[in-house]
């Protein structure tokens, strides 16, 4: 008999067990909370990453644009002598008038060449300047941007469009006519550029040029790193490329020498695919037959008065079942040439169909109706059979004298041979096999023959 101590010990065990379950529940709850916290942290990190990218990306693009613009203006100022500030104003004015900074550069270069050749005694250049009411001597003492502004002001005062275009081409070249819309309102457009803050100072242009050079150095460094990697991997890749090339050349020669085998492999692949389709169709047919037999069995148990008609239906079903058994045997014979496992599996499947047929014959093969109501009256039983004629004297290739009985299955074994005319590998029948599908039996057992 248990004492108080034993009872308390038992209660302690129960309490300990309960505490253990509570601990497990607590740990699982903590796990879920930690998982939820981790997911929340990941979500927050993703949002912060997106926010940071949204802030950094436009700033990086702005820095790149700043570097590109400053580098362009700095280089253009070095080529033309026009200040960075003036180039920024003229570039803005040109863009607002359908021209570009490149058109301004071409016009300034032509202007400087015209002034220089006029000073050196060119009558044509002097006449071009005189057409706009200016002289080379008066312009020579001005800065390039002042020279351009003076010529633009005189062009704007020419009222005749034809004369204005001719004068612009004479001093500024072909780009002069492109810049005529800008010339008409140049002072206002330059003032607007300064007011909008799009004009870059010389110091800003220098800084932007330095930034652009830094970007270029980073790009060059990356290219240098890529060169180093390429130098290290080149010997290995060259060796690999040589091996791959050699393999492909050998493979091509092998294909040229074994065209028939390549065709055979393709045919075998197609045959395997066809077998797969056949198995799928066979499985569907088996399922349909099974469902049909089940429905007939249910009908037989309910409607005992139509046994004769039911026997006729079952007899009709025997023929497709036998055809399917023959199909299974034929399919098994094909797969046997490829794999032993396939032979075993199809053998079992064929055996299953034969068992199904035997069961159906035992259940309904003797169904019929009594001719009268007296116990001594005879029974009338109806049998149905599927027939396949014997075939004698068959020939496959060079193999002749083949005998095949009714439902026997005939299959052919092929071997490799050379077509002497086409010089290709072909398949030639080397053996023919005739195998029995159904066992033989006498009609005497049915009472209808001997």
Give the per-residue pLDDT at 360.
32
Domain of 203, in residue numbers:
71-208
Q: Which tokens hold the place of 11? A: 């209660």
Judge whether 250 lies within some domain.
no
Please state the separation of Cα 68 from the chain's center in Å.
38
The answer to whether residues 289 and 408 belong to one domain is yes
Rounded to whole angstroms, how far apart are CA atoms 37 and 15? 32
Contact, 413 vs 433, CB < 8 A?
A: yes
Q: Is 230 exposed, middle or buried (0-12, 13-18, 19+ CB in 10 A)?
A: exposed
Say if residue 200 is in the same domain as residue 266.
no
Query: What is the rounded distance in angstroms from the CA atom of residue 38 to the CA atom of residue 44?
Result: 10
How far separated are the first and last CA of the chain, in Å rounded?
86
Of the CA atoms within 13 Å of residue 127, those in its CB half-sphere come to 4
Kindly state whether residue 2 falls inside one of the protein's structural domains: no
The predicted pLDDT at position 405 comes to 86
Longest dimension (CA), the chain: 150
Sign of the Cα torsion 46, 50, 55, 60 reads positive
Token output for 20: 């253990």
Domain boundary among 147, 175, 208: 208
Task: Determine the pLDDT at residue 329.
Answer: 43
Tell me the C-alpha distance between 170 and 142, whole Å: 20
Residues 276 and 196 in one domain: no
Sign of CA dihedral 355, 356, 358, 363: positive
Residue 16 lies in a domain: no
The total of other beta-carbon atoms located within 10 Å of residue 200's CB is: 21
Structural domain includes residue 11: no
How far is the C-alpha of 234 from the C-alpha of 228, rounded, in Å? 10
In this structure, the answer to whether residues 140 and 279 fall within a common structural domain is: no
Residue 43 belongs to some domain of the structure = no
Say if residue 403 is in the same domain as residue 268. yes
Instruction: Please tell me whether residues 160 and 272 are part of one structural domain.
Output: no
Q: What is residue 184's three-state secondary structure?
A: coil
What's the structural domain count of the chain?
A: 2
Measuring CA to CA, which residue among 104, 82, 84, 83 is closest to residue 93?
Answer: 104
Please tell me whether residue 432 adopts helix, strand or coil conformation. strand
Coil, strand or helix at 212: helix
Q: Two tokens at 16?
A: 């300990």
Nearest to 419 by CA among 427, 408, 431: 427
170 with 288, same domain? Answer: no
Same domain, 141 and 271: no
Provide the pLDDT for residue 198.
84
Q: Are 125 and 114 in contact (CB under 8 A)?
A: yes
- For residues 268 and 204, membership in a common domain is answered with no
For residue 423, is it within any domain?
Answer: yes
CA dist 72 to 87, 99, 143, 175, Å? 10, 17, 20, 19
Alpha-carbon dihedral sign for residues 255, 261, 262, 265: negative
What is the full per-residue pLDDT of the chain (450 aa) written as tens digits?
Answer: 445 444 444 444 444 444 456 666 777 888 888 888 888 888 888 888 888 888 878 877 777 787 788 778 888 888 888 988 989 899 999 999 999 999 999 999 999 999 999 999 899 988 999 888 888 888 988 999 999 999 999 998 998 999 999 999 999 998 888 999 998 888 899 999 999 988 887 788 788 778 888 888 888 888 888 888 988 888 888 888 888 888 888 888 788 778 778 788 888 888 888 888 888 887 787 666 556 555 554 544 444 444 444 444 444 444 444 444 444 444 444 444 455 544 454 454 444 434 333 333 333 345 667 777 777 777 677 766 667 788 888 898 889 899 888 878 888 998 888 888 877 788 889 898 988 877 777 666 666 654
Indicate if 282 and 409 belong to the same structural domain: yes
| CB-side neighbour CA atoms (13 Å) of 265 | 6
Q: Are residue 204 and residue 265 in the same domain, yes or no?
A: no
Q: Tell me how far apart the alpha carbons of residues 450 and 445 are, in angstroms, rounded to a whole number.
A: 8
Nearest to 99 by CA among 162, 181, 157: 181
Last residue of a domain, one of 208, 223, 245: 208
Q: Among 166, 185, 208, which residue terminates a domain?
A: 208
Structural domain includes residue 308: yes
Query: Are 442 and 347 found together in one domain?
Result: yes
- Which residues make beta-bridge pairs with 433? 411
pTM of the complete model: 0.41
- C-alpha distances out from residue 303 to 123, 292, 300, 384, Å: 127, 16, 5, 22
Q: Report the pLDDT value the prediction gives residue 364, as an integer from 0 to 100.
A: 37
């Amino acid at each position: 008999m248990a004492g108080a101590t034993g009872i308390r010990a038992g209660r302690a065990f129960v309490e300990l067990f309960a505490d253990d379950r509570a601990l497990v529940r607590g740990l699982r709850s903590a796990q879920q909370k930690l998982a939820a916290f981790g997911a929340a942290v990941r979500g927050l990190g993703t949002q912060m990453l997106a926010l940071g990218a949204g802030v950094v990306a436009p700033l990086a693009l702005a820095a790149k644009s700043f570097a590109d613009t400053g580098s362009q203006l700095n280089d253009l100022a070095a080529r033309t002598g026009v200040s960075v500030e003036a180039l920024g104003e003229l570039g803005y004015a040109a863009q607002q008038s359908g021209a570009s900074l490149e058109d301004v550069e071409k016009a300034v270069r032509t202007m400087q060449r015209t002034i220089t050749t006029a000073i050196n005694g060119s009558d044509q250049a002097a006449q071009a300047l005189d057409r706009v009411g200016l002289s080379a001597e008066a312009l020579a003492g001005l800065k390039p941007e002042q020279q351009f502004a003076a010529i633009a002001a005189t062009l704007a005062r020419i009222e005749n469009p034809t004369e204005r275009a001719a004068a612009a081409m004479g001093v500024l070249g072909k780009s002069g006519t492109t810049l005529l819309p800008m010339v008409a309102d140049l002072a206002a457009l330059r003032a607007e550029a300064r007011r909008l803050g799009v004009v870059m100072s010389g110091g800003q242009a220098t800084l932007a040029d330095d930034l652009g050079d830094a970007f270029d150095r980073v790009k060059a460094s990356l290219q240098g790193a890529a060169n180093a990697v390429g130098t290290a991997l080149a010997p290995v890749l060259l060796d690999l490329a040589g091996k791959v090339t050699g393999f492909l050349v050998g493979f091509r020669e092998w294909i040229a020498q074994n065209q028939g085998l390549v065709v055979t492999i393709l045919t075998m692949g197609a045959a395997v695919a066809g077998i797969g389709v056949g198995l799928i169709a066979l499985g569907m047919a088996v399922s349909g037959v099974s469902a049909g037999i089940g429905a007939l069995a249910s009908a037989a148990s309910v409607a005992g008065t139509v046994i004769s008609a039911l026997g006729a239906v079952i007899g009709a079903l025997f023929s497709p079942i036998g055809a399917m058994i023959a199909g299974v045997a034929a399919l098994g014979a094909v797969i046997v040439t490829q794999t032993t496992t396939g032979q075993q599996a199809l053998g079992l499947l064929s055996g299953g169909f034969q068992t199904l047929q035997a069961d159906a014959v035992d259940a309904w093969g003797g169904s019929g109706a009594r001719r009268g109501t007296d116990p001594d009256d005879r029974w009338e039983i109806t049998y149905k059979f599927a027939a396949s004629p014997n075939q004698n004297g068959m020939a496959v290739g060079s193999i002749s004298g083949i005998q095949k009985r009714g439902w026997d299955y005939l299959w052919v074994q092929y071997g490799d041979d050379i077509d002497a005319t086409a010089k290709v590998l072909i398949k030639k029948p080397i053996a023919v096999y005739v195998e029995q599908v159904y066992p033989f039996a006498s009609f005497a057992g049915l009472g209808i023959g001997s």
